[in-house]
Amino acid sequence: MRTRLVLFVALVLTLVAGACSDSEQPATEAAVSLEGLRFIVEVIAEDGSPADEELVRRSAAVITSRLEAAKFNAKVIVALPGRLEIQLGDTDESLAKIATDLLTRSANLTFHLVDADATASSEPGPDHLLLESEQGPLALISQPVLEGGAISQASARMDASGHMPVVWLLFTDQGAQDFAQATTQHVGRRLAIVVDGKVLSAPVIQEPITGGEAVISGVFDLAEAEVLAATLQGGALPGRVRILDMQLIGRE
């Protein structure tokens, strides 16, 4: 009888210990961080005011999409108020600049018609933007023909010759219609592709572009094209992002 009692007590203790171990396991897993770079960033509204919860979460979604497009093994953690923690696994400090661009670049993409007459003038009108390009200053019609929201996919690849990196863009259905209409109406004019106020290229529209695709070519290497494609794929940031801290974690 005593032997049975001892065995029963031992069995109960074993079951209780197992239950405690199982209940503690998720907390242990949640505490694990990715080994690699860790960024702490602050999200700020465009007017410089503190970001609300919605802006922080929208920014987190854009950053997550960009990092996925760039094939980073990443965790993006919302750390309210106004901050995000980004953990990048399987990486090293040599990729810090690429990660910084992905986290902080606004990536506001717009397409503008070039006004040749205003470009030749020293004082373009108020309805123009005067921006620098590889060919010198260009006067652009302020109202964009198309904006970044019309893009559904972006990827880096080599051009048909295999020598020049380009960024390939695929438009949404509505974006494809708008782009086809604009290029049909303005054959012979130059169309500037602008990202964050910088003219990347301004090719002449040779014929209507109705296939729903476009290509950005410029003075960049394949790595830069991949970063640009990832930021455009993720979309424009809804606010501004400022890096507060960067360090390596999980390394002895």
Residue 107, SS3 per DSSP? coil
pLDDT of residue 239: 95
Q: Are 127 and 142 in contact (CB under 8 A)?
A: yes
- Band of the pLDDT at 94, cuts 50, 70, 90? confident
Q: Is the pLDDT assigned to residue 150 strictly greater than 60?
A: yes
Residue 95, SS3 per DSSP? helix
Token pair listed for 176: 């494809």
pLDDT of residue 91: 59
Which pairing describes strands 83-89 and 73-79: parallel, antiparallel, or unpaired? Answer: antiparallel
What CATH fold (topology level) applies to the domain 109-233? Gyrase A; domain 2 (3.30.1360)
Positive or negative, the Cα torsion across 170, 174, 178, 181?
positive
Q: Is the pLDDT assigned to residue 29 strictly greater than 60?
A: no
DSSP characters for 173-239?
Answer: HHHHHHHHHHHHHTTTSBEEEEETTEEEE--B--S---SSEEEEE-S--HHHHHHHHHHHHH---SS
Positive or negative, the Cα torsion across 225, 227, 228, 232?
positive
- Band of the pLDDT at 162, cuts 50, 70, 90? confident
pLDDT of residue 95: 85
Q: Is the pLDDT assigned to residue 183 strictly greater than 70?
A: yes
pLDDT of residue 219: 73
Q: Is the pLDDT assigned to residue 103 strictly greater than 50?
A: yes
pLDDT of residue 251: 55
Domain ranges in the chain are: 36-105+237-249, 109-233
Query: Are both 36-105+237-249 and 109-233 of the same fold?
Result: no
Looking at domain 36-105+237-249, its CATH architecture is: 2-Layer Sandwich (3.30)
Positive or negative, the Cα torsion across 75, 76, 81, 82?
positive
Question: Within 10 Å of residue 174's Cβ, how many Cβ atoms?
Answer: 10
What's the rounded Cα separation, in Å, for the pair 217 and 158?
A: 10
The model carries a pTM of 0.80
Phi then psi for 213, rounded to 5 degrees? -135, 160
More confident call, 35 vs 238? 238
Closest CA to 209 of 176, 169, 247, 180: 180
